A = this chain, B = another copy of it.
Amino acid sequence: MPYDATKLKDWQISEEAEKNMPTPWDWQEKLGLQKDEILPMGRLCKLDFMKIIDRLKDRPDGKYIEVTAITPTPLGEGKSTTSCGLMEGLGKRGVNVGGALRQPSGGPTMNVKGTAAGGGNSLLIPMTEFSMGLTGDINDIMNAHNLAMVALTARMQHERNYNDEQLARLTGMRRLNVDPTRVEMGWIIDFCAQSLRNIIIGIGGRTDGFMMQSKFGIAVSSELMAMLAIVRDLADMRERMDQITVAFDKSGKPVTTGDLEVGGAMTAFMRNTINPTLMCTAEYQPCMVHAGPFANIAVGQSSIIADRIGLKMFDYHVTESGFAADIGFEKFWNVKCRFSGLKPHVSVLTTTIRALKMHGGGPKVVAGIALPEEYTKENVGLVEKGIPNMVHCINIIRKAGINPVVCLNAFHTDTKAEIALVREHAEAAGARFAVSEHWAKGGEGALEFADAVMDACKEENQFKFLYPIEMKLRDRVALVAKEVYGADGVSWTPEAEAKAKMLEADPKYNDYATMMVKTHLSLSHDPTLKGVPKGWVLPIRDVLIYSGAKFLCPCAGTISLMPGTSSNPAFRRIDVDPKTGKVSGLF
């Protein structure tokens, strides 16, 4: 320790570190938990959320530290690695630190992206469980979600086959009159299954369901996953579980899971998902993994539940928001913190020389293709031109009243002159700054970073939302576009504007969150515009309604809820040792 990350692959580091990984009962002792607050699951465990939050409800919260990033390259700039590195650095300083990260989907694991959280010496372990379903939450979501579709499609069949009198006699149910052309919900599966993106179901006779178009999405795009990330407790989940809009009836009224009488059974399948799973970094700082929602139609971050108990158990609790500061942090700020009532102290802005060079006009960065020389050799000029993106992101964080810490996630190709320039501009913009070498050195490499964060935590902050909950939808979008993205204004398609007006007029939607859908590859809606785009207008072409999660999603970009499996997928290289049961080939 640290491991030689230039020679060992992540799974090899995980395997080494697993040898001394604490058992569930070690964690019980270390975290001062009661025996029945630990729910062991193989060599991992879940934490009984309701028992822990009830016992610790009067304990003061620890420091709440969020990790976000500047606008990234398509390779990502290492928010998870930086989150793990921060936990390790704080761990080396001897403080009581922990965190919460998202659970990945099985789709990328079996396709091309891989699902390690962090990397090198800043890694969540054990990697095999993490990559392959963890303790089953996604499976539970899959069963609960698909049960709603079973309920809907069986109901449509029976309503077609029986008249009102038969229906009342056989089932005691009223006719829902679902409009088959307005079924909103699809089925889910946790793979990249492009063949199930658009399907026709119910082919056959009277007892073979109801023939109509349908669709599958990837499991983590489910509204149930969106809900898991933002519910406060099981009662909140149960209430929302009846409110999901599955379809519309022939008069245009929503048909919900409650109308289908399936919310209770769905919650029954989800009952264990409210308990976060405990993993740890390669240096054994505890880190919960809980929820893994999309960052477009959902918050893209781990759960409120995990943050609630993390802040009770740890003096410093680290959490990461998906995508970049304009998307992930904005949702953390105005949605997650509003739902949770929790106040963050510090936001870490993960920055790389690579991304700054891209914003400064460097050549296109493409996954799977070697980086052009501009990125691997010193080029102070490109860095300087790219710095406005970082400054813009620092300013976003400052608008929330939170203290920003810029963490330069160090690469061995970074030069002193490049780093000095970033430090100068970060500090001039009012942020603390630290270089961190957690990937190569673990906590030892993250001490300056940890110190900067602890220092920032000591300072008072004036956390405030960007908009009050009373603000109308279109005003909110205008404010986010201007203050967060730097747009000149917002344009609405006639359909989107009509929908927005309807939503603003209906008090039912008053307490719904505004969940922006936009690329994270640019501050604008156009992923090719790097740096800080000027003179542009944010185009909104639809507003999606999620009535279980209580999200209104103004769409400034397209969304695919079902990725495709590539021509050279990872499953080809995954295998099991038949003697030990060990999985190989994950990355």
* A binding-site residues for B, Cβ under 8 Å: 24, 39-43, 46, 50, 106, 110, 132-133, 136, 139-140, 142-143, 146-147, 149-151, 153-154, 156-158, 162, 167, 170-173, 187, 189-204, 207-210, 214, 233-235, 237-238, 261-262, 264-265, 267-269, 271-272, 274, 564-576, 578-579, 581, 583, 585
Contacts and interface: CB of A to CB of B under 8 A. Distances in A.
Nearest to A24: B40
Given A189-B146, A262-B571, A265-B574, A195 B208 contact: yes
Given A195-B202, A201-B195, A567-B162, A139 B143 contact: yes
Contacts of A167: 567
A518 to B, nearest CB: 23
30 contacts: A50-B581, A110-B147, A133-B136, A139-B139, A142-B142, A146-B191, A149-B193, A149-B195, A154-B564, A154-B569, A170-B567, A172-B568, A194-B207, A196-B209, A197-B204, A197-B209, A198-B203, A199-B199, A199-B201, A200-B203, A207-B564, A234-B579, A235-B578, A238-B576, A238-B578, A261-B571, A264-B574, A265-B570, A265-B575, A268-B574
Contacts of A583: 268, 271
A169 B27 CA distance: 49
Contacts of A203: 197-200
A39 B40 CA distance: 8
Contacts of A214: 195
Contacts of A156: 195
Nearest to A161: B567
Given A150-B565, A268-B575, A271-B583, 9 more contacts: A41-B41, A142-B142, A150-B195, A151-B565, A154-B194, A195-B210, A237-B578, A261-B571, A265-B574
Given A151-B569, A234-B578, A208 B201 contact: no
Contacts of A207: 194, 564
A578 B232 CA distance: 12
Given A567-B162, A571-B265, A209 B195 contact: yes
A42 B39 contact: yes
B150 A193 contact: yes
A264 B156 CA distance: 40
A569 B155 CA distance: 10
A569 B190 CA distance: 26
